Amino acid sequence: MVSKKEETKVEATKSEGYTIPDTYKDPEVKKVINKKDLHKMVWRSLMLQSSFNYERMQGGGWAYSMTPALKKIHTNKEDLSNSLLDHLQFFNTHPFLVTFIQGVITAMEENKENRSTIRGIKVALMGPFGGIGDALFWLTLLPITAGIGASLSMQGNIAGPILFLALFNAVHFGLLFWLMNYGYNTGTKAIASMKENTKKISRAASIIGLTVVGALVATYVAFKFGVTIHAGKVKVPLQTGVIDKIMPQLLPLLYTFFCYWMLKKGRSPIALIGITIVVGLVGAFFNLLA
C-alpha cells in the first residue's frame, strides 16, 4: 500500500515525464567503494551550495558530490540514471555535517537498498543535522574561534586572523573526513549512536561557548561610571569605590543582559547598536561614563 506522501511524490515525478523505480536492473551487491572514493566525495561536498536554488536547495551540489560513488556502484546505465535523478531532488542540510549523510547513503547505495528506503533515510537525516550544525558551528565554534582571533588582533597581533582560520578549518575539515568514513563504515547503525554522542558534544560545546562569551563580556564591554560621590570632604568614585566592591565588571554584565532581553523582546541588532551609541554619547556628554 502506497502512502499519501509517496503517491504525491510519484505524481510529481510523473509530471516531469519519468517515474523512478524502487528496484534495480542490476541488483547484485558488490563492495567497490574505497577510501579514495570517499575522500573525493568529501572534496566535492565543498561545492554543496554551488547551485543553491529555492526549488531544490542543495540538490544539485548533493548529486554532484555523490556522483563518484554512484558511478562505481551502478554499472548499469539505467540504474545510474535513476539514482542520479533521485539525488537531484530537494535536499538541504548543514554543509559541515553533510559528509555523514553521504557516508550512510553511499553504504545503502552499495548495498542496493530500495530507492524509497534511501530517500527516506536521506530526508530523515538532513533536517536534524541542519539544526545540529547551526548550533555547533555558527552559534558555538564560530564565536569561540573568532573571539580568540579578535582578541589577538585587538592587541595588534597579526596571528589573530591566522589563528582563527587555522582553528576553525581544523575542526571543519577534520569533521568532514571523519564523518564521511564513520557514516560509511557504520551505515545506518551510526544514526542511533550519533544521536547519543551529539547530545554530549552539544552540551560540552555549550559550556565552552558560555565560558568564552563570559570572558569576552568582562574583557571587551567597556561600561564604567565616571561619577564621583562627595561624602563631606571624602570623594568616593562610584565605579571603583562602590560598584567594583560589589562585583567587578558588574555594569558590562548588566548591559549584556539588557541587550539579550531586548533581543528576546524582538528588537533588532541594528536597534541595539543605535541604543548603545546614544547611551555612550549621552553618558560622555554629561560626564556620567568614563
Q: Could you give the C-alpha distances from 205 to 142, 144, 198, 288, in angstroms and in order?
A: 11, 10, 10, 39
What is the reported pLDDT for 195? Answer: 55
**The C-alpha cell that represents 210 in the structure block:** 558560555
Determine if residue 3 is left, alpha or beta; phi over 0 gives left, psi from -120 to 50 gives alpha, anything else beta.
Answer: beta
What is the reported pLDDT for 192? Answer: 55
| Burial class (CB within 10 angstroms; exposed 0-12, middle 13-18, buried 19+) of 110 | buried
d(CA 101, CA 29): 20
Torsion of CA 224, 227, 229, 230, to 10 degrees: 150
* Residues 132/94, Cβ–Cβ less than 8 Å: yes
Angle CA 64–130–184, to nearest 5: 55
What is the reported pLDDT for 143? Answer: 86
| Burial class (CB within 10 angstroms; exposed 0-12, middle 13-18, buried 19+) of 155 | exposed
What is the reported pLDDT for 198? Answer: 56
d(CA 79, CA 71): 10
- Count of residues making up the chain: 290
* Residues 211/203, Cβ–Cβ less than 8 Å: no
| Burial class (CB within 10 angstroms; exposed 0-12, middle 13-18, buried 19+) of 13 | middle
* Continuous H helices in the chain: 4-15, 35-45, 59-73, 77-87, 98-110, 115-133, 142-154, 159-186, 190-220, 244-246, 250-264, 269-285
- The pTM assigned to this predicted structure is 0.65
pLDDT tens digit at each of 290 positions of the chain: 444 344 434 433 443 556 888 889 999 988 899 999 999 999 999 999 988 988 889 999 999 999 999 999 999 999 999 999 999 999 999 999 999 999 999 998 998 988 988 888 888 888 888 888 888 888 888 888 988 898 888 888 899 999 999 999 999 999 999 999 999 988 756 655 655 665 665 566 667 667 777 777 777 788 888 777 777 777 778 787 788 888 888 888 888 889 889 888 888 888 888 998 998 898 888 888 86
d(CA 19, CA 13): 5
